[in-house]
Amino acid sequence: MSEEVVLLDMSNGIATITINRPDKYNALNSEVVTKIREFMQKAEEDEAIRVVVLTGVGEKAFASGADINEFKGRDSKSVRPRVERGQELCTYMESMSKPTIAAINGYALGGGCEFAMACDIRYASSNARLGQPEILLGIIPGYGGTVRLPRHVGLGRAKEMVFTGDQISAEEAHRIGLVNRVFETVDDLRAGVDELAAKLVKKPGVAIKLAKQSLNGAWSMSLEDNLVFEIDAFCETFDTEDKDIGVEAFLSKGKPEFKHK
């Protein structure tokens, strides 16, 4: 096993970022957060990359949350830069122009659940367990958990999860809309994520970016502003080569080969 705490694979238009601390259930220490941020930016800036997958190594954990060893001895002042870095990473992932998929291969707790929530699409294996257990440590989520969880699952369910710190099963997470799909095994999950990523790689990049921005507007804009944004974005797609390629392919009953321009 590699010594690197986060692995990056870039092939076939897909960047796969894998947290690699199996003996610590992929806990997120400072180095892991820094590396994920670096790799996310690398994926964002590489034009050949069309989709980003975030996952954990092995079959036990996506990520078990912030590395609790790094909390010892910290006070409000010394913890602030650390939590700000984690939160900034989530905001960055959410604002990336490319679709992000969380492949949740086991525990997604605390920061793990928060990283997954900052991705666009969440697929999980049936052994996955999700939760915000910070309350059990006498603290609260800090990578956007109290902000994104209610937006994903509703305020009542989010309060129950954050106040109790209880973990929920993949099946329950699916039922409440926290994950999109559940696969029986981790291998099935990886195959399902590969299939989704391969499908998304072929989609027109500019349209995907604009659709993502407008969809994200549901959380950050007023209804009126979001509708105006959508109109502007819709019109913008009409200046792309991909629009001509897509429309022409439909009309000639062919398959579009988008150029992401």
Active site amino acids:
114, 134
Q: Are strands 168-169 and 121-125 parallel, antiparallel or unpaired?
A: unpaired
Using CB under 6 A, pick the residue from 14, 15, 16, 25 that binds ligand COA: 25
Minimum distance from CB of 112 to ligand COA (Å)? 7
The conformation of residue 28, written as its DSSP 8-state character, comes to B
Question: Which residue lies nearer to ligand COA by CB, 30 or 213?
Answer: 30
Minimum distance from CB of 138 to ligand COA (Å)? 10
Q: Are 178 and 152 in contact (CB under 8 A)?
A: yes
Using CB under 6 A, pick the residue from 94, 120, 134, 242 that binds ligand COA: 134
Q: Which residues, 66 to 85, sit near ligand COA by CB under 6 A?
A: 66-69
Question: Which residue lies nearer to ligand COA by CB, 133 or 205?
Answer: 133
CA distance 235 to 224: 17
Residues pairing with 130 in the sheet: 108, 168
Residues pairing with 124 in the sheet: 104, 182
Q: Are 139 and 111 in contact (CB under 8 A)?
A: no
Taking only Cα atoms into account, the Rg of the chain, rounded to an integer number of angstroms, comes to 19
Using CB under 6 A, pick the residue from 27, 101, 103, 170 that binds ligand COA: 27
**What token pair was written down for 11?**
């092939």
Q: Which residues, 86 to 125, sit near ligand COA by CB under 6 A?
A: 107, 109-110
Minimum distance from CB of 52 to ligand COA (Å)? 23
Question: Which residue lies nearer to ligand COA by CB, 66 or 207?
Answer: 66
Using CB under 6 A, pick the residue from 13, 56, 58, 65 that binds ligand COA: 65
Question: Which residue lies nearer to ligand COA by CB, 86 or 205?
Answer: 86
Name which of 122, 148, 144, 115 is nearest 219 in CA terms.
148
- Pick left, alpha or beta for residue 99 (phi over 0 → left; psi -120 to 50 → alpha; otherwise beta): beta
Minimum distance from CB of 19 to ligand COA (Å)? 12
Residue 64 contacts ligand COA per CB under 6 A? yes
Instruction: Give the CA angle between residues 111, 209, 92 to the nearest 5°.
Output: 30
CA distance 173 to 11: 30
Question: Which residue lies nearer to ligand COA by CB, 94 or 134?
Answer: 134
Minimum distance from CB of 65 to ligand COA (Å)? 3
Residues pairing with 121 in the sheet: 101
The conformation of residue 96, written as its DSSP 8-state character, comes to -
Question: Which residue lies nearer to ligand COA by CB, 109 or 208?
Answer: 109
Q: Which residues, 5 to 24, sit near ligand COA by CB under 6 A?
A: 24
**What token pair was written down for 253?**
């009953």
Minimum distance from CB of 75 to ligand COA (Å)? 16
Interacting residue ranges for ligand COA, rule: CB under 6 A:
24-25, 27, 64-69, 107, 109-110, 133-134, 137
